[in-house]
Structure 1
């Protein structure tokens, strides 16, 4: 069919327009949809405790959990599940606000504030007779004596908070402050981390906590104790020592653990310690433990063979390292920092060591043997930064006495350690009519090698049956490489200027300090347990307290 020429001329331009419009529309329809931009649109719940899950909703997340970085106020959180529009995240300890998500090279923050909520509280009373686990998403409130009985194991998750109540909340009405007791054959498996230590503390509010608010932690094992089997325990604890003999007994593990405000007095002048160890065996693992504000000794070993590393005794009331009843284990790296306004009526010491009272006779198992013969190495004890005083402490019940009080037939040994700021450095003591402690020293059973005593009024003295001259002759034996640093010469040690700071201490010696070299590892110090460090005291160039120790537990918020 033929179209008139005029019609064709009119129709063709219109056709061209229509085709152009069609092409334009088609082109628009084929363009890609813009890629979604990383965003946070909401999160739920808006308030949650540590360890709980928060779901973050948004866009452009990675579907691979590890490819998303989430922080709460700068604190990293663990992403447990992910889609492109949703992230499941565990609230970290110390969580703040805002919530931030980084993915694909971009970072966005929430416009709504996150509120860290209090953890739920679970009350614990009575006996634990089956395997039990305490988790970091709860706070555990102990009332009265809580005993873990064989064959049960109590497992405590890293970051868990355990609070102890006072006498007034004892459910049995016996006026017994909360105390966690691990009985022979039972175990504790308390493995914290440097970033998530396990904390045992007072149930009182921040700012109102005090020495002896609750009992503490007590572990009973099956290793030898040199007392008769019917002998009872300090502080009103139940039971008797028994007649165990398993030197490798295993009571479990405690690592990265803090114990605060324990040491309650259950009987007159008889308190529970921060950490009490009765007959605990060498199969037990103890390291990175801080005992703070204990109402009695920070640590006390009653027999047993347990070893330990990286211990802190902070602002204790009585002694820091108390050994009795035949303890024969080993400890390396220990720090004591004292509040010199606080001391005990019995006279507070750094080390206090007895075989038992009076130390002799020692004739056989459960009858004075084995002798107390533990070995400490790389210990630092800091008391007075200025002139030491033996006057009653202004906020305590008695005075300071000795950095080391070794008495009653002990064979304790100390290597490569630093004692600073006590009225007395060493008191070598034997009850009148006995010579056991001196005999142990002169025979080589009691060894003090590489010990530095600084800033003391009386560096070395004897007591009881031991004369000053005898004690001084022993300590000053040239081969032992011990040193006495006069108060006027303490600056030559190049101690860290913050060594005595109670709220922000730092114990690393200054560059060039003579303490960084000169360690001696002979005699009992040659044991394979000890890392043969070159330095004297607890620190060389590494601060092993960093990240997990707390120098202000009085004001810590443990409800979150």
Structure 2
């Protein structure tokens, strides 16, 4: 019934999803329709790839074309007005992908709003919701590089040899950022040991959506949608979206930058990946994996969280990633074919840190612990507490022989003591679609015709969304006491500015109907169960 209802609803709203959205971008803040904006090649604002002027403002009356890699260098400021659109061309094979790079000492001031987001996307994207989410790797992405501490060392090893991202600089504390070719110091992040500044400020990213990036420049070398290299804590990052990327959605390499209200959608690799001594705070992260994970050319998604202390063995600095994350909701798409990875949380390479009050659905397993990360989990320096793990329909949850593994250690099944610790830490497993609606489908895969929508918002009062832990009261966290990125029963913060909303992939953006108590888009037996449970309740 749900599927039939959604197919009908998809057909009825298809026109809405594709009519006028490109024209209305920025309309609320006085921007003209995208089709009538003046086209400006970014190369006309650059000299040798660098901003020609120390202060440059991009305005929403223009449509900007990123036709080469662009650098915002030391002591330069790039201002981007709300509602501004930047479209990027695809670079020739074997060269750096066309990317917007804020180098060390440069600052970007991209301060959009929910009604006037700033969008960076591929040149072929008409911005009307019809450019398929499977279009990935069409340009580079957004890279911000700062001067905060990391743990890179010139002697680091990776894959049995020197790590090219660290050995090339020859300086401890300075690395070459992932996804770019060697030999250009504008691509370096961090500072020599002793000269780091954890309070570094690279500007503001607010209501910024980065789409269809991740162009491959070599084997295993792609640009993340949003890459943060040694970015400091005085940088403001909130309400960002990393969509349809051929690598990770968001990845900080070292640094202390805090991230709040972030979306990762339809990417080919991990949704949030920390590495190299990242020590920031994160709250309200929403990830939704694409519709296909068969291992073919349209394969999408890997781990929900990939938690790395360092790039690999051999780092003797003693510094490891140690972030604190509250309130994530990440929906995976694991299948037995092409889904050998796909862990909700993969922790490895000696990582430290905390993951609290989060919801993970449709992954192969819950917590996968490798090497010293397992020791850290047991001694309390890497914590996963008060999280809910929702299984797939084809998984059972009866340990130790279940197909869903709550905990895996070095690729093998965990012990009974590990399962006990999992529960003692307040973690839960729950059945398929019992907490959130994690079913998602697009047909055909090369379209954006959504035939089954997710609903990441738990019902008000849902037991598996309750927590005994409250986020800290400080200058960053919002002190909420529920699991997941969204307040149960409330309107989500993704509404109005994300690609997920534009293509109507999320039921929270679709008008409900009387009787749809669980807001899954149809009136069915689940709603009757909810009604029966509440029948006779005195509401006065």
CA deviation after TM superposition for structure 1 residue 477, in Å: 4.9
Judge which range, 201-210 or 246-255, deviates more: 201-210
Please give the TM-score of this superposition, normalised by the length of structure 2.
0.72
Measured on the aligned residues, the alpha-carbon RMSD in Å equals: 3.2
CA deviation after TM superposition for structure 1 residue 508, in Å: 2.2
C-alpha separation in 2, matches of 1:498 and 1:301: 29
C-alpha separation in 1, matches of 2:97 and 2:494: 29
C-alpha separation in 2, matches of 1:322 and 1:438: 18
The answer for the alignment partner of 1:145 in structure 2 is 69
Is this contact kept in 1: 2:294–2:335, CA < 8 A?
A: no
Is this contact kept in 2: 1:158–1:191, CA < 8 A?
A: yes
Is this contact kept in 1: 2:205–2:238, CA < 8 A?
A: yes
Please give the TM-score of this superposition, normalised by the length of structure 1.
0.69
Q: Which has the larger radius of gyration?
A: 1
2:422 to 476, 479, 488: 476
CA deviation after TM superposition for structure 1 residue 506, in Å: 3.8
**CA separation of 1:382/1:76 partners in 2, compared to 1, >3 Å: closer, same or farther?**
closer
CA deviation after TM superposition for structure 1 residue 507, in Å: 2.6
What stretches of structure 2 of length at least 5 have no aligned partner?
1-19, 44-48, 154-171, 393-402, 443-447, 505-540
CA deviation after TM superposition for structure 1 residue 521, in Å: 3.2
2:498 to 541, 544, 549: 549
The answer for the alignment partner of 2:407 in structure 1 is 461
The answer for the alignment partner of 2:470 in structure 1 is 521
SS state at 1:235 partner: coil
2:200 to 230, 242, 249: 249
CA deviation after TM superposition for structure 1 residue 542, in Å: 3.2
CA deviation after TM superposition for structure 1 residue 224, in Å: 0.3
**CA separation of 1:278/1:307 partners in 2, compared to 1, >3 Å: closer, same or farther?**
same
C-alpha separation in 2, matches of 1:314 and 1:352: 15
SS state at 1:234 partner: coil
Is this contact kept in 2: 1:343–1:399, CA < 8 A?
A: no
**CA separation of 1:150/1:554 partners in 2, compared to 1, >3 Å: closer, same or farther?**
farther
What stretches of structure 1 of length at least 5 have no aligned partner?
1-48, 51-71, 79-89, 95-115, 393-397, 431-435, 556-560
2:143 to 209, 218, 226: 218
The answer for the alignment partner of 1:408 in structure 2 is 349
**CA separation of 1:506/1:454 partners in 2, compared to 1, >3 Å: closer, same or farther?**
closer
The answer for the alignment partner of 1:15 in structure 2 is none
1:227 aligns with 2:181: no
SS state at 1:404 partner: strand
C-alpha separation in 1, matches of 2:218 and 2:405: 35
The answer for the alignment partner of 2:511 in structure 1 is none
1:512 to 454, 461, 481: 461
2:102 to 161, 179, 182: 182
Map 1:371-450 to 2 at 5 A.
371-384=320-333, 388-392=334-338, 400-430=341-371, 436-450=372-386
1:538 aligns with 2:485: yes
The answer for the alignment partner of 2:84 in structure 1 is 160
C-alpha separation in 2, matches of 1:294 and 1:408: 25
**CA separation of 1:161/1:342 partners in 2, compared to 1, >3 Å: closer, same or farther?**
farther
Is this contact kept in 1: 2:293–2:301, CA < 8 A?
A: no
1:202 aligns with 2:122: yes
C-alpha separation in 2, matches of 1:497 and 1:461: 21
**CA separation of 1:93/1:507 partners in 2, compared to 1, >3 Å: closer, same or farther?**
farther
SS state at 2:415 partner: helix
**CA separation of 1:272/1:356 partners in 2, compared to 1, >3 Å: closer, same or farther?**
same
Is this contact kept in 2: 1:325–1:368, CA < 8 A?
A: no
1:128 to 26, 45, 51: 51
**CA separation of 1:266/1:425 partners in 2, compared to 1, >3 Å: closer, same or farther?**
same
CA deviation after TM superposition for structure 1 residue 359, in Å: 4.7
Greater relative contact order (CA < 8 Å, ≥ 6 in sequence): 2
The answer for the alignment partner of 1:44 in structure 2 is none
Is this contact kept in 1: 2:406–2:422, CA < 8 A?
A: no
